[in-house]
């Protein structure tokens, strides 16, 4: 598949744009990761990371980018004893996780619609 895609991308001025759009379209069916509070979910198999094949997984990046990452950093710090415990109920943390998931899905949908629009314009022009 990758070889076919590389041949399809070509080497003209639109090749990078084609690569970007097609790669995005092929990755859409992949399941999107969701934030959740472990204290709310009882089924620990839901903590698993399928692709990495690990039973427990926490994803976060620099806390300057996303609120969800800031919350994860604070919770990890508290769980390791490096900072004071978080004074939030697990239900409140889950409510924030749900909100972050909603915003992330809305953002992803806008990105997909933008790619669809670009692709339609590209096909029309070509």
The mean pLDDT value for 100-106 works out to 91
* pTM of the complete model: 0.65
Contacts of 111 (CB under 8 A, 6+ apart): 24
Reply yes or no on whether the pLDDT at 109 is more than 70.
yes
Place of tokens 């800031």: 70
Place of tokens 């889950």: 94
Give yes or no for a contact between 69 and 60, defined as CB atoms under 8 angstroms apart.
yes
Structural domain boundaries in the chain: 31-125
Rounded to whole angstroms, the Cα distance separating 82 from 102 reads 30
Higher pLDDT, 48 or 26: 48
């Amino acid at each position: 598949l990758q070889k076919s895609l590389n041949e399809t991308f070509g080497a003209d001025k639109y090749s990078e744009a084609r690569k970007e759009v097609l790669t995005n379209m092929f990755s859409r069916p992949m399941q999107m990761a969701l934030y959740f509070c472990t204290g709310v979910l009882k089924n620990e198999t839901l903590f698993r990371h399928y692709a990495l094949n690990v039973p427990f997984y926490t994803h976060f990046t620099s806390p300057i980018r996303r609120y969800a990452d800031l919350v994860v950093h604070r919770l990890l710090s508290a769980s390791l004893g490096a900072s004071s415990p978080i004074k939030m109920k697990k239900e409140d943390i889950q409510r924030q996780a749900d909100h972050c998931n909603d915003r992330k899905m809305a953002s992803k949908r806008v990105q997909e619609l933008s790619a669809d629009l670009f692709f339609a314009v590209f096909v029309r022009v070509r």
